[in-house]
Amino acid sequence: MGESFWKYFWLILGFTGQAAFFGRFLVQWIVSEKNKKSTIPMAFWYFSIAGGTIILIYAIHLGDPVFITGQSCGLFIYLRNLRLISKEKRRKLAEGEGGEAGRESSG
């Protein structure tokens, strides 16, 4: 495969990551409008992880330490938020609250 193929491969990968990352804002906006209040759905965090991971791979390819550091820190925060949501969901289930716990959190 030629140099041209890899050039376009990396550009497409980078734009795919950006699209996934943008998707998180779109999902958050739609859910907030539906709920008539600021809401951060679980899909927001999954889009964040997907987009952040793809962009991190792209940044590593570019060898950009600023970009790599930013995306790495972001991924840590997204994963930590999912862990906190999961912990809260388990706590509520143990207390018998159940329901929508962990699916959405107000922001």
pLDDT in tens, 61-106: 999 999 999 999 999 999 999 999 999 999 999 998 655 544 555 4
Residue with tokens 């950006």: 18
- Ranges of each domain in the chain: 13-97
Cα separation values, 8 from 35, 45, 88, 100, Å: 40, 28, 43, 43
Answer yes or no: are the C-beta atoms of 81 and 47 closer than 8 Å. Answer: no
What pLDDT is stored for residue 46 in this prediction? 95
Average pLDDT of the segment spanning 24-51: 95
pLDDT in tens, 13-34: 999 999 998 999 999 999 999 9
pTM: 0.79
What pLDDT is stored for residue 102 in this prediction? 47
